[in-house]
Structure 1
Amino acid sequence: MNTDILSAITFEAASTTEHFEQIIALQNQNLYKSLSSHQQEQQGFVFAEHTLDLLQTMATQIPQVIALHQGKVIGYNLAMTAAMETELPSLEPMFREFHKAEYKGRVLTDYQFFVGGQVCVDKDFRGLGLLSKLYNASAGLVGSAYELCVTEIAVRNTKSLAIHQKMGFEVVSTHNDGLEDWNVVAWDIRNR
């Protein structure tokens, strides 16, 4: 692990139009439809497409954490509150599953939770543990207001699932949204 690179990376809440534009650019490079199936298998991928307006709206409700290297966004962890359930139609099946999926004997919606992810790291900065650092920065910024971070990961995105499980996420259910099979995962941020 290159400690020089790691020491030059900072984490903060996205706050400028330039931050949000760089998030969208990084997202576009890693969208499933921009990558071959081989690249998806080897590197992982992201599904949801966000607009500048949506990102700025999300940031008014909960921090959108970015990793910066030399002023450039090289990673991000987008977050949503339960109140944003209808803001992105492609995520509505995920939110419906949250009303059914259980974590430690309770339905997810019985917890104070935020939706973590979409999380993405620039391909030139992978392998440095930035996914974990992004999630931990998000958990640190939301503080004690939340108990869980929940998200979903495409079943075929085995790379992403393995990384999430390594940092403590647990699969709590699996569902199909009509197009894809998804693992719903939860991370108890009180135990981080």
Structure 2
Amino acid sequence: MNHPTTLESTEINALLALQHSNLVQHLEAAAAASQGFLTFQYSETDILRMMKDMPQPITKAGDDITGYALATSPAASNDIEIMNTMVKLTAGLSLNGTSLSDLRYYFMGQVCVKEGHRGQGIFDKLYEHHRELFADTYDCLVTEISAANLRSQAAHARVGFQTIHSYADEQGIDWLVVAWDWRVI
């Protein structure tokens, strides 16, 4: 149950349905605050672009997708408009004293665990699967978290992510850029 695997193209619609149900605009405020939320909505085209370069870690119980953690190569992140701000920001950031431009890194596009499956270690399994799949190719993984998403912040810190930058976007939303440094594991 809830075993890690990778997304097949025939499963994209199921992933998009899970994403849709967890977007902040579709959740009650109390649920978003206690369970976390997704901010960005990726399209089928975006997911296919991500899949072109990297396998996409998911967990499944039977045929049901119970979680996902989208891997986004540097090339794909340049092609996906909603990632442009993070891509530009990271060029000038450092991780543990090393400029990201001197490291091999990729981006986490989004992570989500299905309601009813949270608190079962799926989040950690998804990130461990990332490390298994990509640690031989990359030094670290970078993503951003809404500062309002306290559950996500805590979960990422538990796995080993550290905050390397914070900023407010054009809409005044505060973000944390976090990275998981695999060179120190």
Q: TM-score range by the shorter chain?
A: over 0.9
Look up the match of 1:152.
Answer: 144
1:74 is aligned, of 59, 66, 80, to 66
Please list, as runs of the form range in 1=range in 2, the aligned pairs for 1:72-111 lying within 5 A after superposition.
72-111=64-103
Q: Which region of structure 1 is more displaced relative to structure 2, 80-89 or 145-154?
A: 80-89
Query: What TM-score does the superposition give when structure 1 sets the normalisation length?
Result: 0.91
Look up the match of 2:45.
Answer: 53
Contact 1:12 1:65 survives alignment (8 Å): yes
Look up the match of 1:35.
Answer: 27
2:126 equivalent to 1:118 = no
Instruction: Provide the aligned length of Structure 1 versus Structure 2.
Output: 184
Once residues 85 and 9 of structure 1 are traced to their aligned partners in structure 2, the CA distance between those partners, rounded to angstroms, is 28
Amino acid of the residue matched to residue 9 of structure 1?
Answer: N
* Structure 1, unaligned runs of 5 or more: 1-7
2:2 equivalent to 1:9 = yes
* Structure 2, unaligned runs of 5 or more: none
Deviation at 1:191, TM superposition (A): 4.1
Look up the match of 1:128.
Answer: 120
Deviation at 1:43, TM superposition (A): 0.6
Q: Give the % identical residues.
A: 30
Once residues 85 and 129 of structure 1 are traced to their aligned partners in structure 2, the CA distance between those partners, rounded to angstroms, is 28
Query: What TM-score does the superposition give when structure 2 sets the normalisation length?
Result: 0.94
1:162 is aligned, of 146, 154, 175, to 154
Tell me the alpha carbon deviations over residues 52-111 of structure 1, each in whole angstroms, 9 at most, x when there is no partner: 122122111011111000111010000101112332222211111101221112222321
Could you say what secondary structure the match of 2:16 adopts? helix
4+ residue segments displaced more than 6 Å: none
Deviation at 1:117, TM superposition (A): 3.8
Please list, as runs of the form range in 1=range in 2, the aligned pairs for 1:13-28 lying within 5 A after superposition.
13-17=6-10, 19-28=11-20
Contact 1:169 1:187 survives alignment (8 Å): yes
Could you say what secondary structure the match of 2:123 adopts? helix
Once residues 32 and 101 of structure 1 are traced to their aligned partners in structure 2, the CA distance between those partners, rounded to angstroms, is 28
Amino acid of the residue matched to residue 69 of structure 1?
Answer: A
Q: Which region of structure 1 is more displaced relative to structure 2, 22-31 or 140-149?
A: 140-149
Contact 2:59 2:126 survives alignment (8 Å): yes
Could you say what secondary structure the match of 2:39 adopts? coil
Could you say what secondary structure the match of 1:145 adopts? coil
2:177 equivalent to 1:184 = yes
What CA RMSD, in Å, does the superposition of the two structures yield over aligned residues?
Answer: 1.3
Look up the match of 1:5.
Answer: none
Tell me the alpha carbon deviations over residues 19-66 of structure 1, each in whole angstroms, 9 at most, x when there is no partner: 111110000000011112221111101112111122122111011111
